[in-house]
Amino acid sequence: MFALVEIVKEKLFAFVQADGSDVFYQSFEYWQDVSWLYNFFKANPGALNYYGLGQKTAIRSIITESEAFFDDILNIAEGKSDAESLDNIIIYYPPQ
C-alpha cells in the first residue's frame, strides 16, 4: 500500500514514505545536504569518475542545480512558468 501527498493542488503529488516524509521534498533535502552528498560520493566514487569532477565541484554543482530544478518544478506546477512541462528543461534538444 502507498500514500500520496499533494505538493501543488491537483497538479503535483509525491509518495509518502513509512516515516511520513514525502519523496519530493526529501530528494531535494538530500541534494542540499553537503554531508549526505559527501557520503554518497564516498560510497559511489564511480559517479565522480564518470563525469570527471572533483568532489567539491560536484557537490557545489548539485546544490546549485537542485535549487533551480526545485524552483522550475514548482513554477511549472503552479502555472508561474511559460513552460508547460519539464521536457524542455530536463531534456536537451539540439538546434536543428
Neighbours of 73 (CB within 10 A): 19
Residue 10 falls inside a structural domain: no
Residue 14 falls inside a structural domain: no
Residue 83 falls inside a structural domain: yes
Half-sphere exposure of 87 (CA within 13 A, CB side): 3
Find cell 509525491 and name the residue.
Answer: 14
Give the range of the structural domain holding residue 78, as residue numbers without chain letter. 25-90
Task: Enumerate residues 6+ apart whose C-beta is below 8 A from 14.
Answer: 4, 5, 7, 22, 23, 24, 25
Residue 32 falls inside a structural domain: yes
Residue 76 falls inside a structural domain: yes
Residue 53 falls inside a structural domain: yes
User: For 37-96, how does the pLDDT look when each residue is reduced to its tens digit (9 = 90+)?
Assistant: 999 999 998 888 877 889 999 999 999 999 999 999 899 889 888 877 777 666 666 666
Residue 6 falls inside a structural domain: no
The number of domains in the chain is 1
Could you tell me the pTM of the whole model? 0.75
